Amino acid sequence: MGLSAKNQTVEVDDRVEGLVSRAQSGEQDAFTLLYREYVAQIYRYIYLRVGQSAQAEDLTQEVFLRVIKNIGNYRYRGRPFVSWLFRIAHNLVIDYYRQMKKEGTVFFIDSISITVDDDPAVTVEQDMEMLEIKQAIDKLPPRQREVISLRFGSELSIAETARAIGKTEGTVKKLQYEGIIKLRKLMEKWGRRVTT
């Protein structure tokens, strides 16, 4: 990461920690800003993990309810708020899977529809490609899937991902590398080549 990117990260961290501090002392506006800052990232992370938009919405809401309940206990101590936040999301997803397993629930994967081109043929092609990416992500081992979700779904840095899942940065890089290779192989097996 370049120096300017690092400076940007530090600035974001400082701003977020300032908001957290204000939210802890009872400023509702500060909490709302934190929510708006992270709701999409949290949602994407959960969505990539659970594969269903309705569940992803419920769990996203639950993450922020837990933040309200526990924000008084948050202390920086070298671990930024974003890592703490994603740790809550991570724990909720684990609880969710545990519960589903207990209940013997079958998972249905939402098909997603996107429109990025005016040509209907291209749109159908892209829809299929995206659906396959999603199915491939679902086939990853849990740790790789988690890293891929945090890195590409929530756009967390390596350091933030490492803190969120309690692993070293080296392990996160390794899981990311292995995850991408596996995804690539799955896509090739299905006769797909990801277009960028």
168 binding another protein? (CB under 8 A): no
Do residues 89 and 59 make contact, with C-beta atoms less than 8 angstroms apart? yes
Contacts of residue 17, defined as CB under 8 A and 6 or more positions apart, other chains included, come to 76, 80, 81
Q: Half-sphere exposure of 8 toward its Cβ, with a 13 Å CA cutoff?
A: 6
Segment interacting with another protein, rule: CB under 8 A, options 14-22, 35-43, 82-90, 100-108: 35-43
Q: Specify the residue, 15 or 193, whose C-beta has the smaller distance to another protein.
A: 193
As given in the structure block, the two tokens for residue 146 are 């988690």
**What is the three-class DSSP state of 126?**
helix
Q: Specify the residue, 1 or 94, whose C-beta has the smaller distance to another protein.
A: 1
35 binding another protein? (CB under 8 A): yes
d(CA 38, CA 32): 10
Give the x-and-dash track for 108-147 against another protein (CB under 8 A): ----x-x--------------xx--xx--x----------
Q: Which of 14, 57, 95, 117 binds another protein (CB under 8 A)?
A: 57
d(CA 107, CA 10): 40
Segment interacting with another protein, rule: CB under 8 A, options 11-19, 37-45, 86-94, 98-106: 37-45
- For residue 78, the 8-state DSSP code is T
180 binding another protein? (CB under 8 A): yes
d(CA 92, CA 59): 7
Q: Half-sphere exposure of 94 toward its Cβ, with a 13 Å CA cutoff?
A: 10
Residue numbers at the binding site for another protein (CB under 8 A): 1-2, 5, 26, 28, 31-32, 35-36, 39-40, 43-44, 47-48, 53, 56-57, 60-61, 64-65, 68-69, 72, 112, 114, 129-130, 133-134, 137, 148-149, 151-153, 155, 157-158, 170, 173-174, 176-177, 180-181, 183-184, 187, 193-196
